[in-house]
Structure 1
Amino acid sequence: MSKGTVLSNGDSNLFMERNSISVAENFLTLDHYPTLEKKIDDAEKNDLPPFSHFTDEEVLYYYVHHQKNVDQNKNKSDGTKREYIRELLNFAKNIVSYANEIDIDIEDVKEGSLFKSLSPRHIKRYQEWMVQREPYINGRKSAYAAATIARKTSIIRSFLKFLYKNDYVVTDLTARMASATVSSDERPDRDLGPSEALEILHFFKEENHPILFGILHVLITTGIRNNEFCHARVCDLSYDAARREYFLRIHGKGNKKRTVPIKPKVFDSIVEFRKARGLGTTLNRNDVSPLFINSEGNAYRSTYLSRYINKAVKRTGLDCVKNRLNPIAPHTLRHSFAIISYHSGADVYRIMRSLGHEKIETTQIYLQKEFEKNDHAVHLWDKSLLKDFV
Structure 2
Amino acid sequence: MNWKQALQDYKYYLSIERGLSENTISSYILDLKKLINYLNDYEIDQKPLQINQETVQKFIYDIAKIVNPRSQARIISGLKGFFTYLIFEDLRTDNPMDLIEAPKIGRKLPDTLAVEEINDLINAIDLSLPQGERNRAILETLYGCGLRVSELVNLKLSDLYFDEDFIKVTGKGDKQRFVPISNINKKYINIYIKEVRHKLKIQKEHEDCLFLNRRGKQLTRAMIFTVIKRLAEKIGLEKNISPHTFRHSFATHLLENGADLRAIQQMLGHESITTTEIYVHVNRTHLTNVLNKFHPRK
Using the size of structure 1 for normalisation, the TM-score is: 0.64
2:250 is aligned to: 337
Structure 2 CA distance for aligned equivalents of residues 296 and 85 of structure 1: 32
Aligned 1:299-338 pairs, distance under 5 A: 299-302=218-221, 304-305=222-223, 307-318=225-236, 321-322=237-238, 324=239, 327-338=240-251
| SS class of match (2:275) | helix
> Which amino acid is the alignment partner of residue 151 of structure 1?
R
Q: CA deviation at 1:203?
A: 2.3
Aligned 1:351-370 pairs, distance under 5 A: 351-370=264-283
Aligned 1:207-218 pairs, distance under 5 A: 209-218=132-141
Q: Does 1:223 align with 2:146?
A: yes
Q: Does 1:119 align with 2:52?
A: yes
2:203 is aligned to: none
2:184 is aligned to: 265
| SS class of match (1:259) | strand
| 1:313-353 per-position Cα deviation (integer Å, ceiling 9, x unaligned) | 332233xx21x2xx211111100001121233212122111
Q: Does 1:296 align with 2:215?
A: yes
Report if the CA contact (8 A) 2:87-2:95 is conserved. Answer: yes
Among residues 12, 20, 31, which one is paired with 1:65 in the alignment? 12
Q: CA deviation at 1:253?
A: 1.6
Aligned 1:181-196 pairs, distance under 5 A: 182-184=105-107, 187=108, 189-196=110-117
| SS class of match (1:248) | strand
Runs of 4+ in 1 over 6 A off after TM superposition: 67-70, 205-208
Q: CA deviation at 1:198?
A: 2.3
Q: Which structure 2 segments of 5+ residues have no match? A: 201-205, 293-298
Q: Over alpha carbons, which structure has the higher Rg?
A: 1
2:296 is aligned to: none
1:89 is aligned to: 33
Between 55-64 and 332-341, report the one with greater CA deviation: 55-64
Structure 2 CA distance for aligned equivalents of residues 118 and 338 of structure 1: 44
Q: Which structure 1 segments of 5+ residues have no match? A: 1-53, 136-143, 282-286, 381-390
**Compared CA separation, residues 62 and 237, structure 1 to 2 (3 A):** same
> Which amino acid is the alignment partner of residue 266 of structure 2?
R
**Compared CA separation, residues 151 and 299, structure 1 to 2 (3 A):** farther
Query: How many equivalent residue pairs?
Result: 284
Q: CA deviation at 1:277?
A: 4.8
Among residues 154, 157, 160, which one is paired with 1:237 in the alignment? 160
> Which amino acid is the alignment partner of residue 317 of structure 1?
I
Report if the CA contact (8 A) 2:15-2:21 is conserved. Answer: no
Structure 2 CA distance for aligned equivalents of residues 177 and 223 of structure 1: 36
2:22 is aligned to: 78
Structure 2 CA distance for aligned equivalents of residues 251 and 76 of structure 1: 12
Structure 2 CA distance for aligned equivalents of residues 266 and 280 of structure 1: 21
Identity rate, percent:
23
Among residues 346, 358, 375, which one is paired with 2:259 in the alignment? 346
Structure 2 CA distance for aligned equivalents of residues 190 and 60 of structure 1: 35
Report if the CA contact (8 A) 1:124-1:178 is conserved. Answer: no
> Which amino acid is the alignment partner of residue 196 of structure 1?
E
**Compared CA separation, residues 67 and 361, structure 1 to 2 (3 A):** closer
Q: CA deviation at 1:300?
A: 2.6
| 1:225-278 per-position Cα deviation (integer Å, ceiling 9, x unaligned) | 1111111111111232xxxx5421111122221112222221222233345654
